[in-house]
Structure 1
Amino acid sequence: MATADATSARVRFVVEYLPGPVTLGERGLPERYRERISFGVQDFFKDWDVRGADVYFLLRVLHYFPDHCCVRTVWALVLALKRGARVVVCDRLMPEVAVAGYEPREAGYVWFLDGRVVSVCGGADSWLLQVQ
């Protein structure tokens, strides 16, 4: 909703995810956003329902899957893109535990949560050093 507040009133958003979170999102969406934000169920490994959008924003989608599943997801997305479309990936980059600015307790908590999710979903960590 903060992104909707920060953009022009003509910008529309479609939030796609699994059925449970989509239902919760629809129920909890304040009335003033209902003309600009809609929800849909999406299987990220199959054809994307929204085609021809200007921007596709992937928030914590790729982090939780193994590489071969991420390739399927991105390929399915490529088929939905129009010329000039943008893809924004907002994912977690894991810091080294000893990086300045992270208190040991905070870093341990991040590692604990990430390890649980990755082990359950079969994903892989993206290290900050990999993208620098």
Structure 2
Amino acid sequence: MDIELPLGSDPASVRRRVEALEQVLERALTVPGLNRKVGLDAIVGLVPVAGDVVSAAMGLYLVWEARNLGMSKWQLARMTANVGFDTMVGAIPLAGDLFDFVFRSNSRNLRIIRKHLDKHHPQTRVIEA
């Protein structure tokens, strides 16, 4: 699997980057036996304190990309709240780790970004076969 991410600041490049990041953070691996996908966010979150900080930083990168797209303050606030809520609850030992398995703030934030891109930059849409 050789993925080349675009470095441009155009909406199509941003879309490819945030979709790839969300894939890595939320759906990179399948848990054997459960047939449930997990990503780096849940795995790194198992490390006390440092894992939660790293997860929050990666989630905030999506918010930063959204800001660069010119998304509204309301959308950015919702996305920041998703990351903040995930970080706060994820910081609780054991319960937070289970919560990370269910609450996917990066997937929620990707939906917000996609909705914005589909409305304001429809040429970035990718039709999947």
TM-score (norm. length: structure 1): 0.24
TM-score (norm. length: structure 2): 0.25
Pick the structure with greater CA Rg. Answer: 1
* Structure that is richer in helix per residue: 2
